[in-house]
Chains A and B, each alone.
Chain A
Amino acid sequence: MILVLFGVSLLVFSIMMIIPPGRRAAIYVKQEKITPQQMEAMIKKYGLDDPAPVQYLRWMKSMLSGNFGYSVTASAPVLDGFKEYFPVTLELVLYATPLIILFGVWLGTIGAVNKDKPIDHATRVFAIIGYSLPTFWLGLILLMIFYGYLGIFPPGVLSNKGKDILFSPSFKRYTYILTIDSILNWRWDMFWDALYHLMLPTINLVLLSSALILRLMRSSMLESLGQDYIRTALAKGADKKTIHNIHARRNALIPVITISGVLFAGLMGGMVITETIFARTGIGLWMARAALQLDLPAIMFNVLFLGTVFVVVNLIVDIVYAYIDPRIRLT
């Protein structure tokens, strides 16, 4: 696990080292106002042209001591920026992932159980649409219909009223996740406001990402339904509902769990487009801006963070596996 993270850090660092020292220094200073000599002095001062391993060790040391640097795009230290941006992304992912999984598993089961009947074809059409539509296109269409024509579900994170509450002195931010904090502060009006803004991006993600789960669930459910143990269950007189829900579903869920973990981690890092379209100030948006402006501390921190998320999610997947599949429990 640590090894994976070490690899990620090396990779990120090497990419950064491709950029010449002068360019790296220039991120923090206005180039026109500085003479080449001053620039040279700065590069010397921060050791920007030291051998790569030396710089890597120096970087690692400050990372490990909790000094992640200053982010230009967030106009704040990286950690403060992260505290501001990350909960916005996390909130959306936390709402969307369970819905995606439930929706996908549900539709996939329906498809498998009614194989080749009209309803199965309907789920197939849904899946093809979900696979093939680009995120930005569906996002824009949703915005156009709901916000543009119907005037509901605006983009953004909060309305102005909600923001007033957020920045009022009596409002305490416990988790930085808006829906949770608003409940903890007993401000239901703000809770609904935040939820209202979450609607469209969640719908967008569910429509697009559940296709994957759906197809996987359908095929693994079909495989499971063709197994010998289903025949045993039939032979003992179990009814359809029991066979589908207990005998087949549990086995069918095993591959779905792996993909769900990957999906969760992927959503964390793959929010750039969704957040841009729905004007949500999450890490996707931040990363996109950071990449454009070569905000290296922000990029490196986020990449390392997402690497950690992947590793942790995989660990959780393994634990859930053991819960569902007794064959794994022993090892």
Chain B
Amino acid sequence: MQRLIETRELYTDFFTFEGVVKALNGVSIVVNQGETYGLVGESGCGKSVSVRSMMRIVQAPGKIVGGKILLFLSKEDREKGIDILKRSEAYMESIRGNDISMIFQEASTSLNPVLSIGYQVGESFLLHRLDEMLSETIDTLKGEIESGVNIFSRLWKSFQIGMFRNELESYLKYKRRVEEIDRRLYELEDSEDSESVSERNHLNRVRDRLSKKSGLVEFVEHFPVLRRYRKKLNKTVRKHIIMLLEELGVPNPHNIVDRYPHELSGGMQQRIVIAIALACHPTLLIADEPTSNLDVTIQAQIVDLIKLLKKTTISSVLFITHDLGLVAEICDRVTVMYAGDACETTSVTELFEKPLHPYTKGLLRAVPKIDSEGELETIPGTVPNLINPPTGCRFHPRCPHAMEICSKEKPPTVEYSAGHSVACFLYSEKKDM
């Protein structure tokens, strides 16, 4: 199977007043091309932080302090992958929303209250599909001129075409330059000698400073009257937004475009968030508990929508949830997380039939079953405070099988059987030491 994104020993800390919250404790996960991958675990175990780290959007005071995040996006012979932690912010901006998108736990706060739906969805197009939007606008304008208009609007339209052409040219130039830099950076990917490192740093800085817009456009944008020429571009974008919303089953998209988030229902808001994420047909969609605050019927609709999109548009989905039923329903492979550790990774069938890690077992026992009697079992104890996490295996204070070594060393992740790995001393050779 072709890997798509992989984290290796990822550490993310939050530098708070109370102390350093060690939210991720060396998380290694792999999402493959074409699969639906699940991330489960109790609240606060670091699921959101993991995926935010994968997109490099951990907000202050959080910081990725160690590890690697490898990306295998293009189909060419990119065996080694791109370590995005070594790349510039501008590179990340070109990936986010374009190749990897994310939808969030709380749709209502994820949308900006003072910007219209149209603006928020359209921004994705303008950020990543500017060239297409511009050429399309130019074509529309040309068509309008040909169909015959009076001299004034002809002049105005020619001016618009000129401006858009100029913008398109500088954008394409920008893209070519970026491609060049990225190719060179890829060649330098693994070299660690000081010369390549300094060249890499230099190229990253150059890429950060490259401007998408030409000086002319930047200049004109400062004048309210001249700026009006962009209306035509916005019209093109609007057409695409409406098409996208229709695709996602938003009723009455013409009307919705001009609305503001607070005017929509929760389910509709989540659809808008999905629309923002899907505008540019990403390869990977990260869904961070997209249904947790919706009522059951809407929940089912959103899940169905994601399933449908997985079939039609997106290659892989990384689905975060603490609903094991949902995991069974949609995921191919799952990782169980506990307090910043990835405990166990396996296929969904194995997870339910043959869980290995004591935490996974506890989690499964805590799920109500149709034929179960009496009270549900729970895992005793609570999730530890991550400022002073337990030493060794972070689960040891709550683990029924805890051994002496468990409080001293972090258990290594071992491949128990093909495609089933687990981080627990019960399954490693160190067990008898």
The interface of chain A, by Cβ under 8 A from chain B, is 115, 226-240, 242, 246-247, 250-251, 324-327, 330
Q: Which A-chain residue is minimally distant from B259 (CB atoms)?
A: A326
| CB pair B127 A235 closer than 8 Å | no
* Residue numbers in A under 8 Å from B120 (CB-CB): 232
* Residue numbers in B under 8 Å from A239 (CB-CB): 90, 93
Chain B 71-95 interface mask (CB, 8 Å, partner A; 1/0): 0000000000000000001101111
| CB pair A236 B109 closer than 8 Å | no
| CB pair A237 B96 closer than 8 Å | yes
Q: Which A-chain residue is minimally distant from B113 (CB atoms)?
A: A327
Instruction: Kindly name the residue among B93, B101, B114, B273 whose own CB sees the greatest number of chain A CB atoms within 10 A.
Output: B114
- Set A226, A236, A246: member contacting B276, Cβ < 8 A: A236
| CB pair A234 B106 closer than 8 Å | no
Chain B 35-52 interface mask (CB, 8 Å, partner A; 1/0): 000000000000000001
Q: Which of the segments B18-26, B55-63, B371-379 contacts the partner chain? A: B55-63
Nearest CB of chain A from residue B352's CB, rounded to whole Å = 32
* Residue numbers in A under 8 Å from B273 (CB-CB): 232
* Residue numbers in B under 8 Å from A242 (CB-CB): 123
B-side interface size class: 35 or more
| CB pair A325 B93 closer than 8 Å | no
* Residue numbers in A under 8 Å from B92 (CB-CB): 237
- Set B101, B104, B116: member contacting A231, Cβ < 8 A: B104
| CB pair A236 B112 closer than 8 Å | no
- Set B95, B98, B260, B277: member contacting A327, Cβ < 8 A: B260
Top 7 A-B pairs ranked by shortest CB distance? A236-B97, A237-B97, A237-B96, A326-B260, A228-B109, A229-B112, A235-B102
A237 CA to B97 CA, complexed, in Å? 5
* Residue numbers in A under 8 Å from B110 (CB-CB): 228-229, 231-232
Number of A-B contacts (CB under 8 A): 87
| CB pair B102 A229 closer than 8 Å | no
Chain B 154-194 interface mask (CB, 8 Å, partner A; 1/0): 00000000000000000000000000000000000000000
| CB pair A232 B104 closer than 8 Å | yes
B3 within 8 A of A: no
Known: A226-B59, A238-B123, A326-B260. A232 touches B112 (CB 8 A): yes
A233 CA to B90 CA, complexed, in Å? 14
Nearest CB of chain B from residue A243's CB, rounded to whole Å = 10
Known: A250-B115, A251-B113. A230 touches B59 (CB 8 A): yes
* Residue numbers in B under 8 Å from A240 (CB-CB): 89
* Residue numbers in B under 8 Å from A247 (CB-CB): 112, 115
| CB pair A237 B128 closer than 8 Å | yes
Interface hits, B220-273 → A, CB 8 Å: 260, 262-263, 273
Nearest CB of chain A from residue B116's CB, rounded to whole Å = 8
B124 within 8 A of A: yes
| CB pair B114 A325 closer than 8 Å | yes
Nearest CB of chain A from residue B127's CB, rounded to whole Å = 5
- Set B113, B123, B262: member contacting A236, Cβ < 8 A: B123
Nearest CB of chain A from residue B142's CB, rounded to whole Å = 30
| CB pair B95 A237 closer than 8 Å | yes
A94 CA to B240 CA, complexed, in Å? 45
- Set B116, B127, B260: member contacting A237, Cβ < 8 A: B127
Known: A226-B59, A238-B93, A327-B262. A232 touches B113 (CB 8 A): no
Nearest CB of chain A from residue B272's CB, rounded to whole Å = 10
Known: A230-B59, A326-B260. A236 touches B111 (CB 8 A): no
* Residue numbers in B under 8 Å from A226 (CB-CB): 59-60
Q: Which A-chain residue is minimally distant from B56 (CB atoms)?
A: A234
| CB pair B114 A324 closer than 8 Å | yes
Q: Which B-chain residue is minimally distant from A235 (CB atoms)?
A: B102
A227 CA to B94 CA, complexed, in Å? 22
* Residue numbers in B under 8 Å from A232 (CB-CB): 104, 110-112, 120, 273, 276
A234 CA to B53 CA, complexed, in Å? 12
* Residue numbers in B under 8 Å from A115 (CB-CB): 60
Q: Which A-chain residue is minimally distant from B119 (CB atoms)?
A: A246
* Residue numbers in A under 8 Å from B60 (CB-CB): 115, 226
| CB pair B96 A251 closer than 8 Å | no
Q: Which A-chain residue is minimally distant from B108 (CB atoms)?
A: A228
* Residue numbers in B under 8 Å from A324 (CB-CB): 114
9 sample A-B contacts, Cβ–Cβ < 8 Å, listed by A number: A229-B111, A230-B59, A231-B110, A234-B57, A237-B92, A247-B115, A251-B112, A324-B114, A325-B113
Q: Which A-chain residue is minimally distant from B116 (CB atoms)?
A: A326
* Residue numbers in A under 8 Å from B124 (CB-CB): 236-237
* Residue numbers in B under 8 Å from A236 (CB-CB): 96-97, 101, 123-124, 127, 276-277, 279
Q: Which A-chain residue is minimally distant from B286 (CB atoms)?
A: A235
Q: Which B-chain residue is minimally distant from A228 (CB atoms)?
A: B109
| CB pair A229 B59 closer than 8 Å | no
Known: A228-B106, A232-B104. A237 touches B113 (CB 8 A): no
Interface hits, B114-142 → A, CB 8 Å: 114-116, 120, 123-124, 127-128
- Set B93, B96, B104, B115: member contacting A246, Cβ < 8 A: B115
| CB pair A229 B93 closer than 8 Å | no
A228 CA to B293 CA, complexed, in Å? 15
| CB pair A229 B96 closer than 8 Å | no
A115 CA to B277 CA, complexed, in Å? 29
Instruction: Kindly name the residue among A228, A250, A325 whose own CB sees the greatest number of chain B CB atoms within 10 A.
Output: A228
- Set A237, A250, A327, A330: member contacting B93, Cβ < 8 A: A237
A242 CA to B127 CA, complexed, in Å? 10
Nearest CB of chain B from residue A276's CB, rounded to whole Å = 41
* Residue numbers in A under 8 Å from B260 (CB-CB): 326-327
| CB pair A235 B96 closer than 8 Å | yes
A219 CA to B123 CA, complexed, in Å? 27
Nearest CB of chain B from residue A44's CB, rounded to whole Å = 64
